[in-house]
């Protein structure tokens, strides 16, 4: 009876140890699944942010193209206005010349032409200055877009580094938990 009781006690102890080990193995597997799920979610987040950055850059580029087209349209309209002004000046000059006829001296004609040439040059300078300012505006906007894209890329890299650091810390915590479980199992087995 005593031998049977000892065998029964040993069997009970073995079953309890196996149950404890199975429970610890299940806990280890659950922690690993949680860590894997966390890493997958973090990877999805990084991918979503990358896709958002690409779309934002495309939208900004499209906006810049539309704005450039608008500036070219304004420059074209300014050129047409300049041509119309030159035609008006030429028409006025012809009318003035007809009114004065032979009474207008050669010197007066030269002075009038010089004044109109100066006016034409002034209008051309104004148009050129306008075109240069518009070109500067386009260049500034392009530079701003480039800097914005670089800043977003740097932010994304920093965030990716942070996610990798979190994953590394989670891995270390998992290893520590596994070591603790193994130590407990060994202590249980020794007892």
Residue 156 and residue 56 in contact, taking contact as beta carbons nearer than 8 Å: no
Tell me the mean pLDDT in the region 73-79: 82
Residue 159 and residue 46 in contact, taking contact as beta carbons nearer than 8 Å: yes
Confidence of residue 114 (pLDDT cuts 50, 70, 90): very high
| DSSP-based three-state secondary structure for 181 | helix
Q: What is the pLDDT of residue 102?
A: 65
DSSP-H helix ranges across the chain: 2-100, 106-190
Q: pLDDT (tens digit, 9 = 90+) per residue, 132-173? A: 998 898 888 888 888 888 888 888 888 888 878 877 887 788
**Percent of the chain whose pLDDT exceeds 70:** 97
pLDDT at 189 over 90: no
Regarding pTM above 0.85, the answer is no
CA distance 134 to 68: 9
């Amino acid at each position: 009876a005593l031998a049977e009781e000892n065998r029964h006690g040993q069997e009970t102890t073995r079953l309890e140890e196996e149950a404890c080990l199975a429970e610890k193995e299940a806990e280890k597997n659950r922690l690993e699944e949680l860590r894997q799920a966390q890493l997958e979610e973090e990877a999805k987040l990084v991918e979503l942010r990358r896709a958002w950055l690409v779309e934002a850059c495309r939208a900004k580029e499209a906006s810049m193209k539309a704005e450039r087209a608008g500036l070219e349209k304004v420059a074209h309209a300014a050129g047409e206005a300049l041509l119309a002004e030159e035609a008006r000046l030429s028409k006025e000059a012809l009318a003035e010349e007809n009114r004065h006829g032979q009474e207008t001296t050669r010197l007066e004609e030269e002075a009038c032409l010089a004044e109109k040439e100066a006016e034409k040059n002034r209008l051309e300078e104004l148009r050129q200055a306008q075109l240069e300012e518009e070109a500067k505006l386009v260049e500034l906007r392009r530079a701003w877009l480039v800097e914005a894209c670089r800043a977003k890329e740097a932010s994304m890299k920093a965030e990716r580094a942070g996610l990798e650091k979190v994953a590394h810390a989670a891995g270390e915590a998992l290893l520590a938990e596994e070591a603790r479980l193994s130590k407990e199992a060994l202590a249980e087995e020794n007892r």
